Amino acid sequence: MAISLQKGGNVNLSKEAPTMSKMVVGLGWDTRATDGAAFDLDAVGFVLSSAGKVRADSDFIFFNNKQNAEGSVVHGGDNRTGDGDGDDETIMIDLSKMPADVEKVAVCVVIYDAEGRKQNFGQVSRAYVRILNEANQQEVARYDLSEDGSTEAAMIFGEVYRNGGDWKFKAVGQGFKGGLGPLAGSYGVNV
């Protein structure tokens, strides 16, 4: 049975799934019916050092840069509609390939062209992030984001991070003002 997290909660993945070396971070959402343009939400990941910044721009993982240099973080591909059940987009994390100088992987979702389409996370419902053990597809942890009516176009869903010798997951659920450019810049990506 997966551990259900509340905002700010965390789980020790190394203790809950001690044999897990590869995980799938599944992200899902539904969009509310609108009169305007279709929604296109995109999963993005930032592979971060202890300074909370990317080591290089290649540590910014998204549909146009599907993996970092070591192949420890890999984007599962772009879903432009979010239709259907299950995960809309995924990011795979291979802990066995994770470089020693990586402390955290921030998992975020942004709304593509949100300003032009006049869209925000207040128009998104049933958003979630979950951690699955890739070996057996068993869900280890899940965080269902609250319907907080965020007016932001980017959101930090969660973080997979190193704490001593263990890997943990934290449910963040924090909107980020300005969309993808400012979010990427805050993690040290040259935009």
Which structural domain, as residue segments, surrounds residue 114? 3-186
Report the C-alpha gap between 174 and 107 in whole angstroms: 11
Q: Is residue 49 situated within a structural domain?
A: yes
| pTM to 2 decimal places | 0.92
DSSP state of 123: G
Q: Is residue 42 situated within a structural domain?
A: yes
Q: Is residue 75 situated within a structural domain?
A: yes
The pLDDT score that the predictor gives to residue 33 is: 61
Q: Is residue 83 situated within a structural domain?
A: yes
State pLDDT tens for residues 132-174: 999 999 999 999 987 665 789 999 999 999 998 999 999 999 9
For residues 55 and 49, is the Cβ–Cβ distance under 8 A?
Answer: yes
* Three-class SS state of 13: helix
Overall number of domains in the chain: 1
Q: Is residue 191 situated within a structural domain?
A: no
Tell me: pLDDT of 129 over 80. yes
Return the CATH number at 48. Answer: 2.60.60.30
State pLDDT tens for residues 63-96: 899 999 999 999 987 665 555 567 888 999 999 9
Rg value, the chain, Cα: 16
Q: Is residue 45 situated within a structural domain?
A: yes
Q: Is residue 92 situated within a structural domain?
A: yes
